[in-house]
Chains A and B, each alone.
Chain A
Amino acid sequence: MTLKQGIKDGLAIGLGYLSVSFSFGILAVTSGLSWWQAVLVSFTNLTSAGQVAGVGIMASGGGLLEMAIATLVINLRYALMAISLSQKTDESMTTPARLFTGFFITDEIFGVASSGNQAVSRTYMTGLGILPVAGWTLGTLLGAVLGNILPSTVTNALSIAIYGMFIAIIIPAARKSKAILIVSIIAVCLSCIFYYVPFLNSHVSSGFAIIICSIVAALAGAIFMPVKEDETNG
């Protein structure tokens, strides 16, 4: 698989990232980051959920430990994707190549790379990552800069885009797997408790609330529903 094929496959992801990161750029600036800080966060992290939580922690004056734990838990899924993708790579994936292309492992890039029939090569994975990184960084820049110029009606409308994308990831998976549906409902209920109960809202920061809700919901799922339904159903 060639570099060119990778770039071609990365185009759709890059375009999607461009619009969603626009929403992140607005969010970051309204959270108190400057435009270049927002761009730097996107360029060095390339992750939606982790960045939204990370900027939330920055805005609330959170500590380094909170940042480290929140980032670890929220991005834990990448470890599993990395392990999974690792088994689909060819011999061109040397250790230095893995250290470089490992940066590109996101939900969408992993999805495209691992859904193909052929083994994933170093050049293909590099090509696949280029446009998503460009789109994610450029979209953040546009959102961060234009967010101040555009009328609030427009920026408010764009702010919800990133959550729309999250829902578009959750719902199809929850339709396929009852276990994922139940885990998601547990997470939503817990998250609402942390948000609406005054004591919890004022004593538990948003970063830790996400960590607690996610771990409890996923643990409950792992204990009571250890094998995914869509696997047993074929």
Chain B
Amino acid sequence: MDNLLFFPLLLVMALVTYLIRAVPFVLFRKKISNPRLKAFFDYIPYAVLSSMTFPAILYSTGSVLSAAAGLFVALFLSWRGKSLLVVALATSLTVLGVSLLMTVMQVA
């Protein structure tokens, strides 16, 4: 990517990310008591992650079938309370397995 486009975007991204963390860390010491405001902050991370994951996950592997298999495994293991690392690795391995199987079946 062209550096003239990259660096201004990187600067904005890194600066905003840093300030969101550091400024409240320095300034705020009191708990949020407004239940609606608190709820909004509580829900935002899950709303963000959900909208980023769906439907993008289905198109992340080059094959909707292998991605769907990965998605299923991720949902199942997360439901069972497995750690982030275990879920991420198992999802990848599932996709790898399904893709290899699809390649073998195409050859045969």
Q: Which residues of A contact B (CB under 8 A)?
A: 12, 15-16, 19-20, 23, 32-34, 37, 40-41, 44-47, 49-54, 57-59, 61-62, 64, 67-68, 71-87, 95, 98-99, 101-103, 105, 107-108, 152-154, 156-175, 179-180, 183-188, 190-192, 195-196, 209-210, 213-215, 217-219, 221-223, 225-228
Contacts and interface: CB of A to CB of B under 8 A. Distances in A.
Given A40-B10, A54-B13, A57-B9, A164 B45 contact: no
A221 B70 contact: no
B106 interface: no
A187 B50 contact: yes
Nearest to B41: A80
Contact of B83 (A152, A168, A187, A222): A168
Contacts of A78: 17, 20-21
Interface of B: 1, 5-6, 8-10, 12-14, 16-18, 20-26, 28-32, 35-57, 60-63, 66-67, 70-71, 74-75, 77-79, 81-93, 95-96, 99-100, 103
Contacts of B85: 12, 15-16, 19
Given A99-B26, A170-B50, A79 B41 contact: yes
A184 B84 contact: no
A67 B13 contact: yes
B54 to A, nearest CB: 4
